[in-house]
Amino acid sequence: MTRSALVARLTGARAGAFVLLAAANLFWAGNWVLGRALRDAFDPVSLNFYRWLVALVALAPFALPGLAAKRDVIRRHAGLLALLALLSVSVFQSLVYLGLQSTTAVNAVLINCAGPLFIVLAAWTLDGERATPRQFAGMLISVAGILVILSRGELAALAGLELHSGDAWIVAAIAIWGVYSVLLKRRPPGLGGVHFLFVLSVAGVVFLAPAFALEALRAHVDDAPAGRIVDSIGMSTPSPRRLPAGRRSTALTSGPRTSRSPRAPAIAPAGGRARNTRHRSPIRTSGRGDRGLVCAPAPSPRSARAVP
């Protein structure tokens, strides 16, 4: 192979790599925008569960044929793979969607710019690695470029940004992503990219399944009519307004009846008055569906007078 052919081949490979990297970042940004747009349609756990379930189905035709030959590698590194799946698939993305419930996509992208800083901190904490001056310069250039794009060249516009409660969840998510990025260096070398992503997707969906089931059960209970729930647990009681007029006084009776204790309250139409020799102050109540009820303790057998 001549030198010109080699240079052309390397240039083409590099161009393809840049295209793939740009596409990955484009899809990554779209994930944040869609997460914000679908905040009212799905709760964070359900949206994350469906997202990775779709990814699992899409990867299955490519990953399943050669996965059986990788079972020994998967078994030896099961703990590391489970931890990576928990951090990246289950926790990180759920926190992102949770934060996008109450913050804007612009704020989330700005906080996401701190990802390299968290990676450097995680690498220093876990592996004792220190960032080089070139790496710090690269981080500063990256953050500055994002700020210029978001402000459209007017840095004064950044002063108008507001902080939201969801920003804290985004910060926590980016910190977890930094830990995941450092642990990713320990990925089993015998597990290719497609198989590795498929295994993480399966483990992540399994971890999300209990939370997804609980969230679906809670949503089902919240959507059920209140009357149906009350009836199902036996808490509903008949209302006096639903009873025939002649039985309302019986429904309002409380306590045992004796010749010396007051009987159930007598009920008279609004504007009338239930008279009693012992009790002269009527008690007025009103209920939905009735224009007004005048309730007073009924006369005892010894002192009762006829109510006109």
Q: Same domain for 268 and 173? A: no
Tell me, yes or no, whether 93 lies in a domain: yes
Mean local confidence (pLDDT), 262-285:
47
pTM, 2 dp: 0.65
More confident residue, 145 or 48: 48
**Residue 251 belongs to domain spanning:** 247-297
Is 39 or 283 the better-scoring residue by pLDDT?
A: 39
Average pLDDT over the chain, rounded to whole?
A: 75
In a domain, 234, yes or no: no
**What are 37's two structure tokens?**
């747009």
Q: Are residues 255 and 147 in the same domain?
A: no
Query: Residues 6 or more apart from 62 whose CB is under 8 A from it?
Result: 194, 198
Q: How many CB atoms lie within 10 A of CB 45?
A: 21
Q: Calculate mean pLDDT across residues 50-70.
A: 93
- Whether 137 and 278 share a structural domain: no
CA 111 to each of CA 55, 130, 168, 285: distance values in angstroms, whole numbers, following the listed order:
26, 22, 10, 58
CB within 8 Å of 197: residues ≥ 6 apart: 55, 59, 63
Q: Does a structural domain hold residue 281?
A: yes
Instruction: Please indicate whether residue 44 or residue 30 has the higher confidence score (pLDDT).
Output: 44
Please tell me the predicted confidence (pLDDT) of residue 150.
Answer: 65
Same domain membership, residue 96 and residue 205: yes
Q: Are residues 218 and 73 in the same domain?
A: yes
What is the count of structural domains for the chain?
2
Q: Is 307 helix (H, G, I), strand (E, B) or coil?
A: coil
204 HSE (CA, 13 A, CB side): 28
